[in-house]
Amino acid sequence: MIDIIVGHYNYWVVIFLMMAGFYTVISHGNLIKKIAGLNIFQTSVFLLYISIGYVSEGTTPIIAEGFTRYSNPLPHAMILTAIVVGVSTTALGLALVVRIKEAYGSIEEDEIHDQDKSL
Amino acid sequence: MIEQNLSLLLVVIPLLSAPVTAMLPNGRMPWLLTLTASWTCLLIAGWQLSVVIDGNVISYELGGWAPPWGIEYRIDAMNAFVALIVSAIAAITLPYALLSVEKEIPRQQTSLFYATFLLCLVGLLGIAQTGDVFNLFVFLEISSLSSYVLIAMGEQRRALTSAYQYLIMGSVGATFLLIGIGLVYVETGTLNMVDLNQRLHPILDHQTVHTGFAFIVVGIALKLALFPLHLWLPNAYKYSPSVISVFLAATATKVAVYIMLRMVFGVFSNDFVRITPTDHMFLLLGVFGVILASVAAIYQTDVKRLLAYSSIAQVSYMVLGMGLASVLGITATLVHVFNHALMKGALFMACGALVYRVGSSRFEKLDGLGRQMPWTFTAIFITGLSLVGIPGTAGFISKWYFVLAALEHQSWLIALVILLGSLLAVVYMWKIVEVMFFRPVPDSAQSVKEAPVSLLVPMWVLVIANIYFGFNTELTVNVADSAARLLGVAAYHE
């Protein structure tokens, strides 16, 4: 039991971050907080990928004398790409929030909704 | 030499044109380059389909790395069919775009607009070409990110909130897909679709595989606007610039349908669908989607929103076809992907023509407009018949195959739902006809001219295609059938 908790601690962190981020996206009405939640949600997936690339007692995947076990570099390479995607999404999302603030004067979802309804 | 690389060029040409377009001076130059790029893509996609239509497969190894280690572009009949639909719609949309964009997009943004359009095209074509699941995720995000930008370029401020909502939902969907791909990768150690299929076969009962599958399906369902994950779609289509409504409605959800087919039947397999309740889930959501989205469409007071709800209903038909999980069902889905692209392309173009002349697509602005814009109105009418599924139109062919597939499955209920969906389509399309044709023109209204020729010609090309493919089913049904067989879907048997 202890083994499952301690031995897989990085996966528990992944699950916690995933749930926390996803909950923030769903529950918060503030547009910036939603983006922050989305970021945490995505980061948890980065962590998941990095964890699965781990090979026990493996070293950095650079060929060198005296080392025969290497970590799997492919998940790392994939997650670099996913980080780029995540950064672009965040940047675009924040840019949209700036435009929304200019157009509505607010970044609270319910206030924006009220403004549109009154039209 | 060139011929070997054509499949890659289909993605590279728009990808390289995009930054060049962004640097061109605003005005008509960016449009011209985008037009050239998309027509080149159409030629390549046509050539590609003609090569693979007889069951050949083109395999292209990126950078010379052999699959399954390197990224492989693997083109079979289904990939080529989807790539052809995407590039054909882009090629027809662009002549239409010139005037519509000049009217709706500020002049200083035209080059950036067309550059983003090309990036969206890159993403959609890349999804169709690639044979690598992670590469697919990247292309999906390229197309999604650029479509958020394009939607936000709408004239009203609600375009911004719609794009924001789509961004949140779309990113959650993409991240789900990424989690699913990660879990499947843990189990198999590969990302190549063909390789994945073989390696997954002995371990289809593993719990990690099931979890990964669930994440992948939910992620794609968000992009596909499958009921009940469709909430982002009506506003996104309503507030985006007309050209973007045309392009996205005709391609984006169709490509998502392709991803779903490829993942569920190509990567996992028909056996997996049968040992899990996937097919029942698709049928259930499809039935609800067809009925509820069609009913919602009836209550809309805006043509664009009405068409958006109708899109959700039509996508639900495609999901029904997947749920039947037979060669006929998948054939019906693929035929409908093609035919629905023609219908919605034409309808949103007509809608854009209304916006071009009247400035709005709300019902109260359209009273009696059918007599002042007869060509646009007739286009809506004929395509409406196709949407309903009247014999002699493309829509009939897809409905016919759906009903055949349902009857083969002996699901009378499904067949009934398909017919009910058509009846509801009659109701909502009639609402547009009634407003535009039978209501008198208000006295206060200024007289409206017919839309310019450059809007009418692409619209009517699609309208005529709707009729043509209602009689000549050789291309659509043959390609769809061979694609369905390649997916390894065995004919339905008890």
Q: Which member of B149, B158, B179 has the closest CB to residue A48?
A: B179
pLDDT tens, residue by residue, B16-27: 999 999 898 888
Arithmetic mean of pLDDT over chain B: 88
CB B331 within 8 A of CB B322: no
Collapsing DSSP to helix, strand or coil, B59 comes out as strand
Tokens of A23: 């909950």
Q: Tell me the CA distances in angstroms from B118 to B3, B53, B257, one per residue in order.
A: 23, 27, 21
pLDDT score of B493: 44
- Position B2 confidence tier, pLDDT thresholds 50, 70, 90: low
Task: Give the H/E segment covering residue B421.
Answer: helix B412-433
pLDDT score of B230: 86
- A116 — contact with chain B (CB < 8 Å)? yes
pLDDT tens, residue by residue, B403-457: 999 998 888 888 999 999 999 999 999 988 888 888 887 777 677 788 888 888 9
Asked whether the beta carbons of residue B157 and residue A104 sit closer than 8 angstroms, the reply is: yes
pLDDT score of B452: 86
- The CB-based long-range contact list for B356-362 (8 Å cut-off, 24+ gap) reads B356/B99, B356/B100, B356/B103, B356/B242, B356/B451, B356/B452, B356/B455, B357/B448, B357/B449, B357/B451, B358/B448, B361/B302, B361/B303, B361/B304, B362/B301, B362/B302, B362/B303
CB B392 within 8 A of CB B464: no
Apex A53 CA angle, A51 and A55, nearest 5: 100
What whole-number distance in Å separates Cα of residue B411 and Cα of residue B409?
A: 5
What whole-number distance in Å separates Cα of residue B412 and Cα of residue A49?
A: 46
pLDDT score of B409: 84
pLDDT score of A118: 61
Cβ-based contacts of A48 with chain B (< 8 Å):
179, 182
Could you tell me which of B77, B74, B94 has the C-alpha nearest to residue B31? B94
Q: A2-117 belongs to which CATH class?
A: mainly alpha
pLDDT tens, residue by residue, B338-379: 999 999 999 999 999 888 888 888 888 888 788 888 888 899
Apex B100 CA angle, B99 and B106, nearest 5: 95
Tokens of B98: 């010139």
- Position B489 confidence tier, pLDDT thresholds 50, 70, 90: low
Asked whether the beta carbons of residue B141 and residue A48 sit closer than 8 angstroms, the reply is: no
pLDDT tens, residue by residue, B71-130: 888 888 888 999 999 999 999 999 998 888 888 888 888 899 999 999 999 999 999 999
Q: Which member of A52, A85, A96 has the closest CB to residue B182?
A: A52
pLDDT score of B490: 52
Q: Which positions ≥6 away from B116 have C-beta within 8 Å?
A: B18, B146, B149, B150
Q: Which residue from A minimizes the CA distance to B70?
A: A74
Q: Alpha carbon B212 to chain centroid distance?
A: 25
Q: Output the CA torsion sign for B87, B93, B97, B98.
A: positive
pLDDT tens, residue by residue, B266-282: 888 888 888 888 888 99
Asked whether the beta carbons of residue B182 and residue A25 sit closer than 8 angstroms, the reply is: no
CB pairs under 8 A between A and B: 67
Q: Which member of B167, B179, B182 has the closest CB to residue A89?
A: B167
Residue to substitute from B145, B169, B178, interface A, most A β-carbons within 10 A: B178
**Is the model's pLDDT at B225 over the cut of 50?**
yes
The share of chain A scoring above pLDDT 90, in percent, equals 46
Query: Quick one: average pLDDT of A85-100?
Result: 93
Q: Which residue from B minimizes the CA distance to A75?
A: B182
- A40 — contact with chain B (CB < 8 Å)? no
Biggest CA pair distance of chain A: 72
Residue to substitute from A89, A98, A107, A109, interface B, most B β-carbons within 10 A: A89
Distance from CA of B214 to the nearest CA of A (A): 16
Q: Which member of B141, B157, B178 has the closest CB to residue A103?
A: B157
pLDDT score of B308: 92
pLDDT tens, residue by residue, A13-65: 999 999 999 999 999 889 999 999 999 999 999 999 988 888 777 788 888 88
pLDDT score of B311: 93
Query: Quick one: average pLDDT of B303-314?
Result: 92
CB B282 within 8 A of CB B388: no
Residue to substitute from A38, A49, A78, A119, interface B, most B β-carbons within 10 A: A78
Query: Quick one: average pLDDT of B310-325?
Result: 91
Distance from CA of B65 to the nearest CA of A (A): 14
Could you state, in order of their start, the residue ranges of all structural domains in chain B?
277-494
Apex B339 CA angle, B338 and B344, nearest 5: 105
Is the complex ipTM higher than 0.90?
yes
